Amino acid sequence: MKGEIRRLAMVTGAIFLALVLYLTYIQAVAGERLYLNPLNPRLALVEQQTERGTIYDRAGRVLARTVATGGQFQREYPYGGATAQVVGYVSGRFGSSGLEASRDGELLGLLGWQRFLNEGLRLAGRQARGNDLTLTLDADLQRRATDLLAGRRGAVVAMDPRTGAILVLASSPTFDPNHLEEEWTRINDPSSGSPLLNRAVQGLYPPGSVMKLVTATAALETNPAVLQRQFYCPGYLEVRGWKLTCPRAHGHLDFQEAMMYSCNVTFATLALETGADKFKATASLYGFNKPLDFDLPVKESRVPEHLNANALAESSIGQGAVLATPLQMALVTAAVANRGIMMQPYLVARVTSPGGQTLWQAQPRALQVVAGAGVVDAIKDAMVATVKGGTATAAAIPGIQVAAKTGSAQNPGGLAHAWLVAMAPAQDPAIVVAVVVENAGAGGVAAAPIAREIMAAALRR
């Protein structure tokens, strides 16, 4: 019986070891994540006793600040609706959103050693202050983009393709975070167009012809001789008894002309030649079907897993089951602009302690090498031609060479979604813009002027 007792003791030791290891995981490894969970009622108490940090744009303009009125903290958003979805809001009644939610830990000073320091301050009856955030966002451009959307449903993303810094992340319609209480019923009304939704990162749209940038990459990577080929467009393409059409018969045309006039027949032909595997692989290099690590939650853009000939032809022109966020299409364009190297997008440039000390700083880094420089430069040249004499002439800026691609994405909701992605100056792009306006028709008409204004404003300074 003695041996049995020893074995029983060993089993007891083993299960307690498992418990201790598990507790170590819960409290030491996952502890901070659990603490920062929005379901944690402790955060509401901390909120009342802590001065939330200020959020600045890239030039130091205040996007969100805390003012104390009558012993109570109040949050102010000087740019109101223009930055409402990005910066978000924080409210005892309605919870929090945007960066106010995703950067709670920093804004309230709850991470690492700071948490102990601030808890000590609170215990001593003194007010703790959180950290400040400096964003890559350009508040002027952001406001301009919101104005240009003019209440229509849509989004504008602008970024620096060389670094991945996000300059504009606008979504419309919007709401005033300064008057949440008064606006709450209106913004939750189905007819208001979901202003709480950040369409730039959470809106999934069929990308339409903008997807041809991905199709072109796959085709050129497989066979660079495509550039010298002549194509013929009779106005339709029959794929297994199903007809894919162009708005008109484009006749004889080369690769660049196919891009200029956005010929569906040519790109579907190229996709069918290249094959579904290469198309999917290229889309995945550009970031489709992959979660994106970003400062805000991003919906995953997707290309269908199984592509038969019909689905491949549809997907190659951005229809069918292909869905993308405006941020995703901005990233595709940025990779083309940056010689095939896609940079990790980021929104928070710096975290600064209340004492002004830099606690963290974003470092631009490459996220993915998508394609060779030769391939993307050929695509860029075709996009330049598209602005000069193709579908995107409305994106042209006098004195600056612009490269762009339009899209008009068919959808069940009515008129096509108007898309435009653009970069400027084309020789060495410093800004990339992606614009989508829901149910606004042709991209070259509805979306191009918005992109033009943003690029012009950004480059003329």
Residues taking part in catalysis: 209
Please tell me the distance from the alpha carbon of residue 414 to that of residue 383, in angstroms, as a whole number: 28
Token output for 120: 């000590």
Residues 385 and 444: beta-carbon distance below 8 Å = no
Give 128 or 233: the residue with its C-beta nearer to Zn ion: 233
**Residue 184 interacting entry, from Zn ion, other proteins, none, C-beta within 5 to 8 Å by type:** none
Nearest CB to Zn ion, comparing residues 258 and 324: 258
- Smallest separation, CB 16 to other proteins (Å): 5
Convert residues 30-49 into a mask of x (bound to other proteins by CB under 8 A) and - (unbound): xxxxxx-x-xxxx--x----
Cβ 187 vs Cβ 196: under 8 Å: yes
Choose among other proteins, Zn ion, none what residue 32 binds, the Cβ cut-off being 5 to 8 Å by kind.
other proteins
Sign of the CA dihedral running 192, 196, 200, 205: negative
Residue with smaller CB distance to other proteins, 8 or 59 = 8
Q: Please report whether residue 101 would count as binding other proteins according to CB under 8 A.
A: no
Query: Does 117 engage in binding with other proteins (CB under 8 A)?
Result: no
Which of 4, 305 has the CB closer to other proteins?
4
Total number of residues that touch Zn ion (CB under 5 A): 5
The Cα 169–Cα 293 span in angstroms is 16
- The answer to whether residues 434 and 167 touch, using CB atoms and an 8 Å cutoff, is no
* Residue 461 is a binding residue for other proteins (CB under 8 A): no
Quick one: which segment of 13-21, 185-193, 388-396, 449-457 binds other proteins (CB under 8 A)?
A: 13-21
Q: In whole angstroms, how close is the CB of 44 to other proteins at the nearest point?
A: 10
Q: Are 379 and 345 in contact (CB under 8 A)?
A: no
- Cβ distance to other proteins smaller for residue 32 or 183: 32
Residue 265 interacting entry, from other proteins, Zn ion, none, C-beta within 5 to 8 Å by type: Zn ion
Min dist CB 383 to Zn ion, Å, is: 18
Among 27, 308, 358, 427, binds other proteins (CB under 8 A): 27
Q: Are strands 366-369 and 341-343 parallel, antiparallel or unpaired?
A: antiparallel
Give the residue among 26, 53, 49 at the shortest CA–CA distance from 37. Answer: 26
3-state SS assignment for residue 201: helix
Of the candidates 354, 363, 359, the residue with the CA atom closest to the CA atom of residue 112: 359
SS3 of 342-411: the string is EECCECEEEEECCCCCEEEECCCCEEEECCCHHHHHHHHHHHHHHHHHCCCHHHCECCECCEEEEEEEEE
* Shortest spacing between CB 109 and other proteins, in angstroms: 15
Site residues for Zn ion, window 217-256 (CB under 5 A)?
233, 246, 250
Contact between 162 and Zn ion (CB under 5 A)? no
Nearer to other proteins, 123 or 281 (CB): 123
Which residue stretch of 55-63, 169-177, 257-265, 366-374 sits at the interface with Zn ion (rule: CB under 5 A)?
257-265
Return the number of the residue (26 or 59) whose C-beta is nearest other proteins. 26
Residue 18 contact among other proteins, Zn ion, none, beta carbon within 5 to 8 Å by kind: other proteins
Residues binding other proteins: what is the number (CB under 8 A)?
36
Q: Measured between alpha carbons, how far is 307 from 315 in angstroms, rounded to an integer?
A: 8
CB of 246 to Zn ion, least distance (A): 3
338 in Cβ contact with 432 (< 8 Å): no
Which x/- pattern, by CB under 8 A, does the window 189-228 give for other proteins? ----------------------------------------
Going by their DSSP bridges, the two strands 128-129 and 55-56 should be labelled as unpaired
CA pair distance 306, 327, nearest whole angstrom? 24
Decide: helix, strand or coil at residue 233: strand
Nearest to 326 by CA among 187, 448, 168, 193: 168
Residues interacting with other proteins, by CB under 8 A?
Answer: 1-6, 8-9, 12-13, 15-16, 18-20, 22-24, 26-28, 30-35, 37, 39-42, 45, 116, 119, 123
